[in-house]
Amino acid sequence: MPRHTRIEDSSGGEEEGEEYEPPSQSQGRSQLTQQDLTMHAGLVCNLLLANEHKKIPTKRQDIRKLILKDQARHFPAIMKKASELMERVFGYKVKELEDKNYLLINGLGVSGGERISGTKTQAARTGLITAVLAAIFMTDTQKMKEAVMEEYLKTLGVDVQSKANPVLGNVNKLIYQDLVREKYLEVSLDKFTDPPTKEFRWGERAHLELNKKEILELVCKIYGDNMDPKMWTAQWKEVEKEASGTTRPS
Amino acid sequence: MQVSMSDESNRHVFDIYRDLMMAVQDHTSGEEEVSLKSIHSMVSRANATFKEVKRPQEAAMDAQFLKTCGHLVKLNIESSQSNLRVFKPCEFARKFINFVSQDDDMEEQVQPEAENLTHLVRFGRAVSGLYMGAIGIEPMSSAIDWERPPASQRRKRDKENDNTVNITKPTQMAPSTEEEEGDAEVVAKMYKVLKQRYHEAGNTPLCYFSFVVDPKSYSRTVENMFNISLIVREQFAAITEDDNGIPVIAPLHRSHPQVVGSRGVLPPILGLSETLRSRENG
Contacts of A116 in chain B (CB under 8 A): 125, 128
Domain locations in chain B as residue ranges: 7-113, 178-281
CATH number at A143 reads 1.10.10.1210
DSSP secondary structure letter of residue B249:
E
A residues 63-102 closer than 8 Å to B (CB): 90, 92
pTM for the model: 0.54
pLDDT of residue B82: 52
Report the distance separating Cα A57 and Cα A94, nearest Å.
Answer: 10
Q: Which residues touch B13 (CB under 8 Å, ≥6 apart)?
A: B49, B52, B53, B54, B58
Question: Of A193, A210, A227, which residue is a domain's last?
Answer: A210
Any domain includes A248: no
Q: Work out the minimum CA distance from A110 to partner chain B, whole angstroms.
A: 6
Question: Of A70, A87, A112, which residue is a domain's last?
Answer: A112
Q: Does residue A7 sit in the same domain as residue A108?
A: yes
Contacts of B111 in chain A (CB under 8 A): 157
Any domain includes A219: no
Query: How big is chain A by its Cα radius of gyration, in Å?
Result: 24
Sign of torsion over alpha carbons B107, B111, B114, B116 = positive
Q: Work out the minimum CA distance from B171 to partner chain A, whole angstroms.
A: 45
pLDDT of residue A20: 39
Four-point Cα dihedral A205, A206, A212, A216, nearest 10: 170
Q: pLDDT tens digits for A148-179?
A: 999 999 999 999 888 888 888 899 999 999 99
Report the distance separating Cα B187 and Cα A57, nearest Å.
Answer: 50
3-state SS, chain A, equals CCCCCCCECCCCCECCCCCCCCCCCCHHHCCCCHHHHHHHHHHHHHHHHHHHHCCCCECHHHHHHHHHHHHHHHHHHHHHHHHHHHHHHHCEEEEECCCCCEEEEECCCCCCCCCCCCCHHHHHHHHHHHHHHHHHHHCCCCCEEHHHHHHHHHHHCCCCCCCCECCCECHHHHHHHHHHHCCCEEEEEECCCCCCEEEEEECHHHHHHCCHHHHHHHHHHHHCCCCCHHHCHHHHHHHHHHHHCCCCCC
Q: Does residue A147 sit in the same domain as residue A195?
A: yes
With CB atoms and an 8 Å threshold, state whether B129 touches A122.
Answer: no
- Tell me whether B112 touches chain A (CB under 8 Å): yes
Query: Length of chain A, please?
Result: 250
Any domain includes A231: no
| Strand partners for B251 | B237
- Tell me whether B142 touches chain A (CB under 8 Å): no
Question: Of A180, A195, A210, which residue is a domain's last?
Answer: A210
Q: Side by side, which strands form the sheet with B237-241?
A: B206-207, B247-251, B237-241
First to last CA, chain A: 45
Q: Does residue A88 sit in the same domain as residue A159?
A: no
Q: Which residues touch A159 (CB under 8 Å, ≥6 apart)?
A: A153, A165, A171
| CB B196 within 8 Å of CB B240 | no
Q: Does residue A101 sit in the same domain as residue A130?
A: no
Among B139, B264, B97, residue whose Cα is nearest residue A53: B139
Q: Work out the minimum CA distance from B141 to partner chain A, whole angstroms.
A: 11
Any domain includes A163: yes
Contacts of A211 in chain B (CB under 8 A): 130, 132
With CB atoms and an 8 Å threshold, state whether B125 touches A218.
Answer: no
A residues 105-134 closer than 8 Å to B (CB): 105-106, 109-117, 120, 122-128, 130-131
With CB atoms and an 8 Å threshold, state whether B127 touches A128.
Answer: no
| CB A196 within 8 Å of CB A205 | no
Q: pLDDT tens digits for B14-59?
A: 999 999 888 887 766 654 556 778 888 889 999 999 988 988 988 9
> Mean pLDDT of all residues in chain B?
74
Picking from B84, B111, B115, the nearest residue to A231 by CB comes out as B84
Q: Work out the minimum CA distance from B142 to partner chain A, whole angstroms.
A: 10
| ipTM above threshold 0.85 | no
With CB atoms and an 8 Å threshold, state whether A106 touches B123.
Answer: no
3-state SS, A164-228, equals CECCCECHHHHHHHHHHHCCCEEEEEECCCCCCEEEEEECHHHHHHCCHHHHHHHHHHHHCCCCC
B residues 153-212 closer than 8 Å to A (CB): none
Count of the separate structural domains present in chain A = 2
Q: Does residue A127 sit in the same domain as residue A161?
A: yes
- Tell me whether A218 touches chain B (CB under 8 Å): yes
With CB atoms and an 8 Å threshold, state whether A123 touches B124.
Answer: yes
Any domain includes A241: no
CATH class of B178-281: mainly alpha
With CB atoms and an 8 Å threshold, state whether B121 touches A208.
Answer: no
| CB A198 within 8 Å of CB A188 | yes
Among B6, B114, B113, B99, residue whose Cα is nearest residue B53: B6
Report the distance separating Cα A236 and Cα A227, nearest Å.
Answer: 13
Q: Work out the minimum CA distance from B137 to partner chain A, whole angstroms.
A: 6
Report the distance separating Cα A31 and Cα A28, nearest Å.
Answer: 9
Q: Does residue A149 sit in the same domain as residue A90?
A: no
- Tell me whether B123 touches chain A (CB under 8 Å): yes
CATH number at A72 reads 1.10.10.1200
Tens-digit pLDDT string for chain A (250 aa): 444 333 333 444 444 444 433 444 444 456 778 888 898 899 899 899 888 888 889 999 888 888 777 778 889 999 999 999 999 988 899 999 988 899 999 887 655 444 555 688 888 999 999 999 999 999 988 899 999 999 999 999 999 888 888 888 899 999 999 999 999 999 998 877 777 889 999 999 999 999 999 999 999 999 988 888 988 888 998 999 888 876 544 4
Residue B79 has pLDDT above 80, yes or no: no
Q: Work out the minimum CA distance from A127 to partner chain B, whole angstroms.
A: 4
Residue B177 three-state SS: coil
B residues 89-108 closer than 8 Å to A (CB): 89-90, 92-97, 99
Report the distance separating Cα B238 and Cα B272, nearest Å.
Answer: 12
Residue B275 three-state SS: helix
With CB atoms and an 8 Å threshold, state whether B129 touches A115.
Answer: yes
Q: Which long-range contacts (CB under 8 A, 24 or more apart) does B25-31 make?
A: B25/B68, B27/B72, B28/B68, B28/B71, B28/B72
Strand A144-145 vs strand A185-190: parallel, antiparallel, or unpaired? unpaired
Range of the domain at A72: 3-112
Give the distance from CA B216 to its chain's centroid. Answer: 37
Contacts of B115 in chain A (CB under 8 A): 165-167
Q: Does residue A82 sit in the same domain as residue A104?
A: yes
Q: Work out the minimum CA distance from A202 to partner chain B, whole angstroms.
A: 14
Among A125, A126, A148, A127, residue whose Cα is nearest residue A136: A148
